[in-house]
Structure 1
Amino acid sequence: MTLAISIGQCSITGPRPRNEDFAGAVTPTGETLDAKGMLLAVADGVGGHAKGREAAEFTVRGLLNDYYATPDTWSIAQAIDQVLGALNRWLVAHAARTRETAGMATTLSALVLRGTRWHLAHVGDSRIYLYRDRDLTRLTEDHTWAHPELSNVLHRAVGLDARLAVDHADGEIEAGDLFVLMSDGVWNTLGDGGIAGVLAQGGDPDALAAALVMQAEAQGAHDNCTALVARVDSLPQAALRDRLAEAVRLSLPPRLNVGDELDGLRVDAVLHESRLTLLYRVTELESGDARVLKTLRDGADPDAIAALVHEEWLARRVVSPQFPQVIAHRARSRLYYLMTWHEGASLRARLDAGHHFDIEQVVKLGCSVLRALGTLHRLGIVHRDIKPDNLHLDSQGVLRVLDLGVAASDGEDFKEINNPGTPSYMAPELFEGRPASESSDLFALGVTLYQLLTRHYPWGEIEPFQRPRFGEPVPPTRYRPDIPEWLEAVLLKAIAREPSARFETAEECLLALERGAHRPLALPRRPPLVERMPLRLLRALLALSLIGNILLLCLLLR
């Protein structure tokens, strides 16, 4: 069963010479419905301005079009904010061009229905209501100021100010819910009691939208009247937003050995096995192409299965030569997924084999990883486990980032198979329980490059379940004096204890590596002694100093 919504809308000019309201909805199907949901929006152009209608229509059409072009890995709030931010900038710039377009702005109330949850975005004094079990709840707050001569004055609208602040809220959907989006011409005339009274009469969404608008007109509405009604007819059985969730119903394959065949795939080698996961190198018998098959051990729990599905979902959306690509396999009868195979070895395997990375090679590898991280972060994905084991260098010298098994995305919160991260590469804030971020990914890369150059960790190896104390890191030149000063500055900035002292983005760190000695970073200032010494030690020194002064004073008094 999928999410099924019935939608109806009605808009009339009323006593105004022109209808400045605009409403619209997008009702996708298939994967787009699961990933992005249904989007509904109502806008009311700011009254008294010739271009109010144009602002309303431009904003609604722009949101309905561009929201579905944002990455699936973005959260709903992030996607809407990015789209509305661009639309707002255009309106502000366009309004400043001529006298005729001055003041061009609009309210906006938008609603996304996805899976079993609703999410709204709101600016201005249009409204969104939820009618459930004969109870009417207003979900939005009006952005107006009281005025002695006017009924209200907007202090927030799309196009009103260069900086747009959008209200967001979300909640659970229930079958039978009615969501009603309306302009102030309707709600200001009917009031909450009148709106509830119309909805209580029942009917299909088109009839309800028309009844709300006509009732408002009959009661003397002084503005355009627009209503959009969405009725929830059925909900999906699972909250997973992607059709890959259907893979949960598949059974796990048995433990495979070299030579075994499954769905037209022959196992050539067992690449890796952990407590939960299994990786095989397989050959597609029909094409002869080598692939990597990833699955779970038989008996894996539902959380592990959901995490594997999520990993495949993320990997499908990271289309880049710096990552293995997911291969569609129509004959799949068990729970696994296929990736491209690349001959080569991980950086960890090369370190273990005794390979010594020179400075030029490490800088080149660092630039490659930063480009890959930039791709992930722009998609709203945090890797959470950057380390030499997950960086693969193929026989052609192309570096790829592996294993999105514990990656997190803005768009959905899935449970991971393992605790995210490897202690020796984890940023200090992660040990305090703070969530992983782009900054912690860059920290892990800094530790990785440090290790490739020196074969040491900045704070020594950290064991699982250990709560380390992060003092000053050992400068990499202590182990390898030939590291140039500019590169040491980049590494120390990447692994700074405080996130605010690190690079803000992968692109900023990449620029520092690419500039190198031509435009070097300054070495970070060494903190004063009072910041580096623990409080207990300072207290002990002060106590000893006090005792010494007392002894000296006693000697002088004699």
Structure 2
Amino acid sequence: MSLLFTVGESSVTGPRPRNEDYVAVVTPAASQLAIKGALMLVADGVSGGAGGAEAAEMTARTISADYYATPDTWTIQHALDKVVQAANLWVLSQARKHSRMAGMATTLSMLVLRGQRYVLAHVGDTRIYRLREQCLEQLTTDHVWDRPDMRHVLKRAVGLDDQLNVDYAEGLLQRDDVYAIVSDGVWAALGNAGIHKALMLYHSPQMIAEYLTAQALEKGSQDNASAVVISIEHIGEDHLTDMLADAHSLPLPAKLTVGSQIDGFTVTRIIHDARLNILYQVRNSTGQLFVLKTLQPARADDKDSCEALLNEEWLAKRVVSQCVPQVLPLTREQRSALYYVMTWHEGATLQQRLDAGHYFTCNGVANIGQDLLRGLSMLHRLNIVHRDIKPANIHIGSDNRLRILDLGVALNATLPMPEQMENPGTPSFMAPELFDGKVADRQADIYAAGVTLYHLLTRKYPYGEIEPFQSPRFGEPIRPSRYRPEIPGWLENIILKAIARKPADRFETAEEMLLALEHGELKPIVIPRTPLIARARLVKWQWLAIILLCTNLLLIYLLLVS
């Protein structure tokens, strides 16, 4: 069941000449609610500051619109931070551009509700309260100076500084929780006791919001008074694929053969038949070719595998780029079985080219590296870690475009990934830290990209081939120029930096590695040589010292007895 809640809002001008508060409530449709959640906020223009009302309104409007335009693959906090920082820069630019707006700024308190959780973002002295089981709790901290004569002066607000530090927090929702976002014109007049009383007084959030603002003015508030009140009626499922509940009920298709038909698609070829997945080349009624991906029929009762396929489809749909195959937007009604369909591209994977005996030149590998890093940087900007970069998952089409294949084990914070093997991926392309149990990150993808380029040039692996379930030990990588002396030094150094044992010694981002490949020999990078003591690992030197000590003692003994 989806998250259910009711909202009430009220904003009154009071004795001020105009209302510098701004209230925004966005409750999207059910599908968007499951992904992005509902957003509520109160912004309070800085009192006495020129343009305070404009700062509050434009900040609230910008955030309310831009938050829902951020990629679905971003976490709520990451998306909020991006739009809040952009709003802060906009307010600053307006203040610098128009002298009459100098000093414009606004406080901001936001609450996003999704599934079973809430995420709050806060800067300034507006407040967010929660009433749970009749106990009131203030969830935010006022950003004001801790001096009696300066408690009305803000330390932080949107539009005060180039670098805005925003407080973020999250927690679990409970049924019958009541949340209140109020401006200082409300909480300063009523105090916590007055707010507690108001939240307990009515069941209707709208009545509570109106009561809060009315009571604030009655108690003598000299400021604008604004309140948003949210009552949680039923918490949702904290699982993204619950919005695809209908798809869960779809059966897996029986094993198809060439000529078989399913939902208007005709199978023309079996591309890949593995232990878990099957990929078919299919043709639609207009003759266009696609790739249909599904699970082996034996996996029909494997809930985790079915869920992983749904998650993979959801993720792939949100990667709109020439660097990956695009997923066909099929609705539940257009499918009679559990599968998804993506675009077909003539060509071959890099592994297929290697198997066919293709010889990769140094310039060719450098160009492949640039295209691969462009694709990786695009995935990383969407907070997607591929986790299985290797020649078999990199496709070069007949249009000479490189496409990254298979998001089956990709990691994204938005998706609740089902249980998988401890280190999904191909061992020889996996970063050393993954064998110690660390979760894959962007650095692991950069490492795999470096090993891929190394393998294309040499058909070898820098640390030797690693078999499944092996616990490898990583020493110094073999330089690719040992196998191919013609490899230029600048390209070798880029590869060696990408495959460094320690993540800190690798490129920080895919974009940094891409720039290094684009600059090439014009701006070659330098790989510092590892000191001998580090290459030998300290333990070896300790043993050497012991042997030398024993030798010296033996020599002293022989000298004494002679």
TM-score when normalising by structure 2: 0.94
- Other-structure match for 2:496: 492
Cα pair 1:75 1:410 within 8 Å, conserved? yes
- Other-structure match for 2:372: 369
Cα pair 2:374 2:511 within 8 Å, conserved? yes
Superposition deviation, residue 352 in structure 1: 1.8
Give the letter aligned to residue 549 of structure 1. Answer: N
- Other-structure match for 1:401: 404
Give the letter aligned to residue 379 of structure 1. Answer: L
SS in 2 for 1:424: helix
Cα pair 2:44 2:106 within 8 Å, conserved? yes
1:97-121 deviation line (CA, Å, top 9, x unaligned) = 5664343222111111122321111
- Other-structure match for 2:414: 411
- Other-structure match for 1:42: 42
Tell me if 1:527 matches 2:530.
yes
Cα distance in 1 for partners of 2:71, 2:407 equals: 17
SS in 2 for 1:16: coil
- Other-structure match for 2:431: 427
Give the letter aligned to residue 328 of structure 1. Answer: P
Tell me if 1:140 matches 2:144.
no
Give the letter aligned to residue 289 of structure 2. Answer: A
Tell me if 1:381 matches 2:381.
no
Cα distance in 2 for partners of 1:553, 1:361 equals: 63
- Other-structure match for 2:230: 230
Cα distance in 2 for partners of 1:283, 1:202 equals: 61
Give the letter aligned to residue 280 of structure 2. Answer: Y
- Other-structure match for 1:189: 189
- Other-structure match for 1:511: 515
Superposition deviation, residue 416 in structure 1: 5.9
Q: Identify the match of residue 333 of structure 1 among 332, 336, 350.
A: 336
1:415-451 deviation line (CA, Å, top 9, x unaligned) = 2655422211111222222222222111101000100
SS in 1 for 2:180: strand
CA 1:433–1:181 in structure 2 vs 1: closer, same or farther (change >3 Å)? same
- Other-structure match for 1:264: 264
Cα distance in 1 for partners of 2:437, 2:229 equals: 43
Q: Which runs of 4+ in 1 moved over 6 A?
A: none
Tell me if 1:215 matches 2:218.
no
Cα distance in 1 for partners of 2:552, 2:121 equals: 67
Cα pair 1:106 1:157 within 8 Å, conserved? yes
Give the letter aligned to residue 135 of structure 2. Answer: D
Cα distance in 1 for partners of 2:400, 2:301 equals: 36
Cα distance in 1 for partners of 2:132, 2:280 equals: 51
Superposition deviation, residue 290 in structure 1: 1.7
Q: Identify the match of residue 360 of structure 2 among 351, 357, 361.
A: 357
SS in 2 for 1:69: coil
CA 1:61–1:329 in structure 2 vs 1: closer, same or farther (change >3 Å)? closer
- Other-structure match for 2:18: 18
Superposition deviation, residue 249 in structure 1: 2.1
1:159-184 deviation line (CA, Å, top 9, x unaligned) = 22221111112222234332211112
Cα pair 2:396 2:402 within 8 Å, conserved? yes
Cα distance in 1 for partners of 2:304, 2:264 equals: 28
- Other-structure match for 2:325: 324
Superposition deviation, residue 492 in structure 1: 0.5
Cα distance in 2 for partners of 1:183, 1:71 equals: 30
Cα distance in 2 for partners of 1:137, 1:378 equals: 36
- Other-structure match for 1:542: 545
Q: Which sections of structure 2, spanning at least 5 residues, go unmatched?
A: none
Q: Which sections of structure 1, spanning at least 5 residues, go unmatched?
A: none
**Mean Cα displacement is larger for which, 90-99 or 263-272?**
90-99
Cα distance in 2 for partners of 1:40, 1:9 equals: 10
- Other-structure match for 2:279: 279
**Mean Cα displacement is larger for which, 419-428 or 92-101?**
92-101
SS in 1 for 2:467: coil
Cα pair 1:244 1:313 within 8 Å, conserved? no
Residues 463-478 of structure 1: pairs in structure 2 closer than 5 A: 463-478=467-482
State the percentage of identical aligned residues.
Answer: 52
Cα pair 1:405 1:417 within 8 Å, conserved? no
Superposition deviation, residue 410 in structure 1: 3.3
Q: Identify the match of residue 446 of structure 1 among 443, 446, 450.
A: 450
Cα distance in 1 for partners of 2:269, 2:37 equals: 41
**Mean Cα displacement is larger for which, 195-204 or 239-248?**
239-248
Cα pair 2:144 2:151 within 8 Å, conserved? no
Cα distance in 2 for partners of 1:39, 1:19 equals: 22
Residues 112-191 of structure 1: pairs in structure 2 closer than 5 A: 112-191=112-191
CA 1:555–1:17 in structure 2 vs 1: closer, same or farther (change >3 Å)? farther
Superposition deviation, residue 92 in structure 1: 3.0
Cα distance in 1 for partners of 2:107, 2:387 equals: 39
Cα distance in 1 for partners of 2:130, 2:152 equals: 24
1:316-370 deviation line (CA, Å, top 9, x unaligned) = 1111122111113342111110011122221112212222212122112111111
Q: CA RMSD in A?
A: 2.1
**Mean Cα displacement is larger for which, 416-425 or 548-557?**
548-557
Cα pair 1:307 1:417 within 8 Å, conserved? no
Cα distance in 2 for partners of 1:147, 1:519 equals: 54
Give the letter aligned to residue 506 of structure 1. Answer: A
**Mean Cα displacement is larger for which, 358-367 or 168-177?**
168-177
- Other-structure match for 1:55: 55
SS in 1 for 2:523: coil
Superposition deviation, residue 300 in structure 1: 4.3
Give the letter aligned to residue 295 of structure 1. Answer: T
1:206-256 deviation line (CA, Å, top 9, x unaligned) = 211000111122222232211011223444456326744531121211222
- Other-structure match for 2:75: 75
Superposition deviation, residue 204 in structure 1: 2.2
**Mean Cα displacement is larger for which, 131-140 or 71-80?**
131-140
SS in 2 for 1:258: coil
Give the letter aligned to residue 322 of structure 1. Answer: C
Cα pair 2:239 2:416 within 8 Å, conserved? no
1:12-59 deviation line (CA, Å, top 9, x unaligned) = 223334322211111211432222111111112222322222222221
Q: Identify the match of residue 457 of structure 1 among 455, 461, 470.
A: 461
- Other-structure match for 2:348: 345
Give the letter aligned to residue 83 of structure 1. Answer: V
SS in 2 for 1:185: helix
Cα distance in 1 for partners of 2:470, 2:441 equals: 21
- Other-structure match for 1:290: 289
Cα distance in 1 for partners of 2:559, 2:165 equals: 70
Cα pair 2:67 2:80 within 8 Å, conserved? yes
Cα distance in 1 for partners of 2:440, 2:139 equals: 31
Cα distance in 2 for partners of 1:153, 1:411 equals: 38
SS in 2 for 1:480: coil
